[in-house]
Amino acid sequence: MSLVDITTALQQIFIDEVSTPLGIEFRIQNDLRDNPTATPWAYLEVLELSFERQALGVTVNVYEETGVFSIQLFSDLGKGTKDIQTIAEQIRDVYNDRDLAPSSDVQLRLEYPNVTIVGKVADYFQVNVSCDWTANVQNNK
């Protein structure tokens, strides 16, 4: 169940260190609520790219799981880029080069996040922050 643990840990960091202190509403995958009316707001997505066995043991198998954590930031059009880029850089700093243990059987490593200016998307200006992650997962047999 490592992907659930990883997703929960990454989202909780966003709540504790970004959403609450900066007052940014967010949505997650399969969230049926309407998009927030106040901007900026964020959409969080955790993607698994691979899950491969690294070691086969008598009582425990070890796997390496890799993925990307994507935070899509949306602001109103016509407000310039300074504010939303500043928020993106703050988010980058929050997730930069961190080691976590979201559960007793998962060790999670976050790499250096990238900030990408997407530009106009529908009625918003969008900037993405994406962070590669690697997890070492132990599954008891």
pLDDT in tens, 1-36: 488 889 999 999 999 999 999 999 999 988 989 988
In terms of CATH architecture, what is 2-140? 2-Layer Sandwich (3.30)
The three-state (H, E, C) secondary structure of 21-71, written as one string: HHCCEEEECCCCCCCCCCCCEEEEEEEEEEEEEEEECCCEEEEEEEEEEEE
- pTM value is 0.88
pLDDT in tens, 114-130: 999 999 999 999 999 99
pLDDT at 141 over 70: no
- Where are the domains positioned within the chain? 2-140
SS3 for 101?
A: strand
Contact 24, 42 (CB under 8 A): yes
pLDDT in tens, 83-119: 999 999 999 999 999 998 877 788 899 999 999 999 9
